[in-house]
Amino acid sequence: MEVINLSEKFGKFSDHFSPKIIAELNGQQVKLGKFKGEFVWHKHAGEDELFLVIKGKFFMDLSDRTLEINEGEMIVIPKGTMHRPRSEEEVHVMLFEPAGTLNTGDVNNELTKNDPERL
Amino acid sequence: MEVINLSEKFGKFSDHFSPKIIAELNGQQVKLGKFKGEFVWHKHAGEDELFLVIKGKFFMDLSDRTLEINEGEMIVIPKGTMHRPRSEEEVHVMLFEPAGTLNTGDVNNELTKNDPERL
């Protein structure tokens, strides 16, 4: 059991759209990610996904609209929902999702990270 | 699906040690709580519990030591672990835990909230 400092963890990586695991509880994982640019459109068949902005802001494109999520704001994307995170400037995001959730969901491409790093 | 602003949600309540539900996903709940003073020693038989400090700081007393959790820091208390949150000044905390987790765990007293409010 240890105190986890988010800034310190964010300082340990610089790659985009490749969330790192910082904690696990009740079969869920807490991950930290840096987003910049456009991610891939995807959905998760069985997993709801929470995004909390720690620093900066990003846009979440949905099939019928786009939401802007600013620092201190969060959104839950229900399973089965097509979505695409997008950010002009780098944004720091915390994610909560079931262990094993794949970053690209039902898509498998060069952005897919099958075995996220643990910080 | 909506963007949830933490400051706006924190502005909706003022009572201490009575976390409110702001989101639910994968059978887990996200709650916001304001802590001030000493809570009750307790443990959760089956639930791990995450505390993330959004504003301020608090102390988590454990059986063998005390951890200080500052703004931007978090801790996961594993199930079965005796703990007591304590804070001199009011602190704003986000909790992540399985739906139905009781704030006082195995203790039932005047601090117990059986049916947390949803904001």
In tens, the pLDDT along B51-103 reads 999 999 999 999 999 999 999 999 999 999 999 999 999 999 999 999 989 89
Element (H, E) at B7: helix B6-10
- Identify the burial level of A65 via C-beta atoms within 10 angstroms of its C-beta, where 0-12 means exposed, 13-18 middle and 19 or more buried: exposed
Question: Does B109 map to a domain?
Answer: no
What mean pLDDT comes out for the span A102-106?
Answer: 91
User: What letter would DSSP give residue A7?
Assistant: H
The residues with which B88 forms a beta bridge, in sequence order, are: none
Question: Does A10 map to a domain?
Answer: yes
Contacts of A75 (CB under 8 A, 6+ apart): A50, A51, A60, A67, A69, B1, B2, B3, B4
Q: Can you tell me the ipTM of this complex? A: 0.95
Question: Does B79 map to a domain?
Answer: yes
Q: A69 and B26 in contact by Cβ < 8 A?
A: no
Question: Does B111 map to a domain?
Answer: no
Question: Does B115 map to a domain?
Answer: no
CATH of the domain at B68: 2.60.120.10
Question: Does A1 map to a domain?
Answer: no
Question: Does A110 map to a domain?
Answer: no
| Nearest alpha-carbon partner for B57 in A12, A86, A5 | A5
Q: What is the pLDDT of residue B3?
A: 98
Number of domains chain B contains: 1
Q: A49 and B2 in contact by Cβ < 8 A?
A: no
Q: Residues of B with CB below 8 A from A23's CB?
A: 50, 74, 76
What mean pLDDT comes out for the span A112-116?
Answer: 90
Radius of gyration of chain B (CA): 13
In chain A, whose CA is at the least distance from the CA of B52? A4
In tens, the pLDDT along A40-53 reads 999 999 999 999 99
In chain A, whose CA is at the least distance from the CA of B64? A1
Per cent of chain A over pLDDT 90 is: 94
- SS3 at position B89: strand
The amino acid at residue B110 is: E
Model's pTM, two decimal places? 0.95
Distances (CA, A) of B84 to A61, B42, B91, B105, B116: 41, 7, 14, 11, 19
Question: Does B118 map to a domain?
Answer: no
Per cent of chain B over pLDDT 70 is: 100
Segments forming the whole domain that contains residue A24: 6-98
Q: What is the pLDDT of residue B32?
A: 98
Which of A5, A48, A68 lies at the smallest CB-CB distance from B26?
A48
